[in-house]
Structure 1
């Protein structure tokens, strides 16, 4: 008896579990992609297509995996299985014929494989057309260009291979379009000749068809916008009435370059022809002929189009001379020509002229290059080798070759400039090259006023060498230093004497320099003691010397530039033939 009761209870539990399983939603295990963003719009009485929004190629490889597609009405939850009078299942799509308000709603597409299941919902919206221009609730936008021939493409052309016996008609606003001088129809394309601004508007493409024996029609509207961009008349860039000298027996090619500005669909032809015995003949396109034209090359630029057609002569003969070779350009915007003529040339004369011009160009280029690169060395060599070409400085009323000036403002800020002025400059310029320098603090008399010393000493010097560093001149006190010394300020501002700027450190902020020095630096430049210059074979030597030199021991190149700007000690007494 107890066993019988236990068996009865187990049977009740099994029946209850089967009832739960039978009531479970079979789509619950499918991967859900939610509601698709795009909506499908339709008008009552027309046909409409719902395409499965799932990207099957993204989910799996349909070529290697078998699958099936089923549709469900989300509102009722029932599967659409049978072919109804107004609904047809075609591959992955659900076709509605004679759409009504009852068809509006959400539909779920389910894709199943042997191991997986996917689902996504799409929506069908049925609405009336209330626009006076027959504008439908769903439309696409297409642009055509003014002043040229252009076309519109029917959005329904993607269904042409799916349906049977499709027939397409075009409407502008609400009027049927008939083929005439303005419009021509080629199935899914509407061609519009010489587009005008008035051609903008709403165009409707309507397709009548049959599917599985059921007839239907569907339509979509295009909002057409006209862009006023057009092609201008082409221009022949080359040849332009050219005469070309050519040696007999040589090969030759000539490009016909045509430019067409604007945007649109260019209708243009570029061909070569030649006038032989007063008869025009088009040049053959057969590459095996001695004279032939190559296929046209077309490229698109930001401003328009460039067309190039090449005329090729593999072996120039005597008969080719004095013929008019003409490039003929034919387009919807006009016709143009460009010509050239071949004439024989003397090969010896041409070779001699080419060699002569080449030698002259080489000599001129070399001279300019040597003068620009070795200007300082050349000038210093001429001064040393030919001192009689330069006027002597004796009797000019000057006692010193250069006045050495450097800011002495804050303690420590001018230490490098002072060491350079007191030690390095005298060692090189006076000890090695014999120049006479006036250095304030060394050559002035004790007890003299600084302002008087500066003004009086400058009047006896031929040059002013101004030394400065980043720390000695880039301070508020240093900004006033030059202005406080009357003679130095006059020389800087009035340019009363030749001034040479010596920069001992790299100035990273040029605005910190006094205005007068900045203007002078921009005008004539500055000699930079801190900079290392490398030239070809001396690069290794410069790199080695760079480790043991500093701005207090500049390179040999720097001293050459200083000597270049120093007064010339010539021997001529009456005249100076050259000036550098």
Structure 2
């Protein structure tokens, strides 16, 4: 059996032989580590010029100094250059014109500066069958129909050791000439569109020279053609990609491979990356932060799709700017695809959204606060920045407000009169400096009421209309000159602003005069009776405050808010009440 048909097995056995050293045996006066007999054989027929290479030299790097000595196992004698039918060519034995007597086992001894190794190589010489052009020993190989395939010359490894190498291909003992079907390329033979008829015995003959002597070697491989075929895989992704990802997030990346053809796939897909200080294949253990998942294979009409996913459960800073490599191994070669991770750019849309959302939230909060604390804010601005407002001096008005209250003598009206005559002046005039007109207090004795009201309203900037639940609804209210005149001036002539002060809770609003009801619906009324209840257990106390007309601080702030604004007014403590 030839070597090419058992390439994989040979490599495996050779690795096993190289990894297990049986013992140390003496050769002459030395003790060398014995690697026993190499698996690979060299085949020849009489008259050829085979090279026998030392199998140990592939175990050491080229820069390591060593020397090689050959021995013939049968005699144990060292082989020197110039002996009959054999010569040394570098680290190899060359038989210029081999005969059957040269067949046997030859021991290669390799020495370094500190150690010695030995291994035997077997040379097989077989006679050709009379009248038969086929070599007695051949290898076997399989190629696929329907695709372009490549045959490698079994002697290609000798090309670097000889001079003027030349290769000639034969099929079934007939020389192959280059045409559209067979294209020789140095030590390779390209066969285009392999057909079942392309099966047969292919021979590679190597002609060369060494030291001016011409020699030749040849080996044959019998190729069979099967209907199942697989073309060269194609790596779909990744292809030198740069992927942006956020630190701390999870990440998954697929390595996608397409294998055209039919049959059984013999393709391996593996992820490789820099783990720690060295590049390694990534583990399949799903408990690791970085691992690869099982390969998924699916069939399509044209071939197979292979997918292996790389999973990173938590992206670390050290993962950035490193290459993660997907490697595809097949009999037709190796493919490599890479990608690297870089930090993701700030999400401008997200930042813009957050900014706009914050602005909108601030706007809503601001509007809400302005709505809730409109009165307090307005009073604060008036107090701190009085120069923002025009002074009321010179507007032709003498009073800030006209106080109109019910003069019907019932229980509630008496309380309203006390509130109008005493409480209002104490607060608005005494504390805040407003100037009020109150009929009966500021008018001259003996003047007609109607005339006094008419003339006073023209000199007032506001009309504070105080009313109770019955004062505007009683028959006497129809003759209440202040009410009638003030409402006419405010609603019809629009010469004075009216502020409604509701001293009692109005349980039947429909009983109010139509003009007052419309005014209340339009601008509202300041309710002196209304207080915020802080404790349910104190309801009795709240009721006492209501009936005694002791308004809340909120009420007084609202009254001040509706009073005229005087620029550069006195610095008043608006936190009182």
TM-score, normalization by structure 2: 0.37
* Rg (Cα) greater in structure: 2
TM-score, normalization by structure 1: 0.37
